[in-house]
Amino acid sequence: MKDDLEEVILIVPAKGTSTRVLKKNMRYVGRKRLWQHAVERCLDSRIGDTYLSTESEELWEQATLETSYVGLRLIAREKSLSQDNTRAVDVCLDVIKNTEVIDKKIYTTMILTLPTSPLADAIDLVKAYQFFLQNYRKPVMSVNKVEGNPGLSLAKTKNDRVYIQNENWQELNNYHYRCNGAVFICDIKSFQEEKEFYMKDLIGFEMPEDRGLDINTPFDLKVANLLWREKNENSSN
């Protein structure tokens, strides 16, 4: 259960530009855009206050027209924080600073959820937050299990020769994990000190494979739409 003194901020960073998938955060999975999936799971979780950070006038207009998003707050992000090399860490720190200066509100806990995880839902945020509290507020990162020995990944030279990068691959176990971007939770004071997602004592919150899909390529977007249709067709039958 949430402590009475706990103040939670949920952050959705959604820049308007992208490289591999054009205007990725404004692309559709199912009937909604990626940024909408992220905002709606935040609002539906009812854990805290939801902030959408963007530099895009187009995305800003889309958000302001969604009258059903009661309680959603918008943060106008500087262009300097919307470059390809901009760290999501710096975007989160900017949002927190804005809430302190503009809204005069001090939050104790931050929940970050990315638009690139459109199949995650409010239940995932709630369970991850409970996991965070049960583990004495240690930072939590959502992960998915990846089968296969990570040491068997191959590197490729300019002349097309391939080789195993890790000579000690037989000593590694057959399961490793990847961050999926669906949820990251931490104590804000610690986050402001470390300025890093891979914080001290970070623990993993394992999610189902389908809901942990992270969209980075056009192919990922196609897969997400196939999974969305399959899920909704099954629920309507």
User: Would you say how long the chain is, in residues?
Assistant: 237
Tens of pLDDT, residues 26-44:
999 999 999 999 999 999 9
On whether residue 172 sits in a domain, the answer given is no
Residue 138 within a domain: yes
| Whether the predicted pLDDT of 1 surpasses 60 | no
CA distances from 219 to 78, 187, 208, 233 (A): 30, 35, 20, 21
Rounded distance, CA 196 to CA 188, Å? 11
Token output for 95: 């949002």
Under a CB-based contact definition with an 8 Å cutoff, are residues 117 and 180 in contact?
Answer: yes
In-domain check, residue 149:
no
167-185 pLDDT, tens digit per residue, is: 676 666 667 889 999 999 9
Structure confidence at residue 217 as a pLDDT band (50, 70, 90): very high
Range of the domain at 55: 8-143+179-236
Q: Is residue 152 part of a domain?
A: no
Percent of the chain with pLDDT over 90: 70
Question: 73 in a domain, yes or no?
Answer: yes
- Supply angle C-alpha 109, 85, 76, rounded to 5: 55
- The reported pLDDT for the residue numbered 163 is 82
Q: Does the structure show a pLDDT above 90 at 94?
A: yes
Question: Is 158 a member of any domain?
Answer: no
Q: What is the mean pLDDT of residues 87-114?
A: 93
Residue 180 CA to chain centroid, in angstroms? Answer: 7
Is 80 exceeded by the pLDDT of residue 4? no
Handedness of CA 161, 167, 170, 173 (dihedral sign): negative
pLDDT at 224: 96
- Domain-located, residue 96: yes
Angle at 165 between CA 159 and CA 171, to 5 degrees: 155
pLDDT tens-digit readout, 106-146 = 999 999 999 999 999 999 999 999 999 999 999 999 999 88
Mean pLDDT of 48-71: 94
Is residue 173, in this structure, part of any structural domain at all? no
Assign residue 204 the CATH number of its domain. Answer: 3.90.550.10
Domain count, the chain: 1
Whether pLDDT at 96 is above 90 = yes
The average confidence (pLDDT) of the chain is 91
- The whole-number pLDDT of residue 85 equals 84
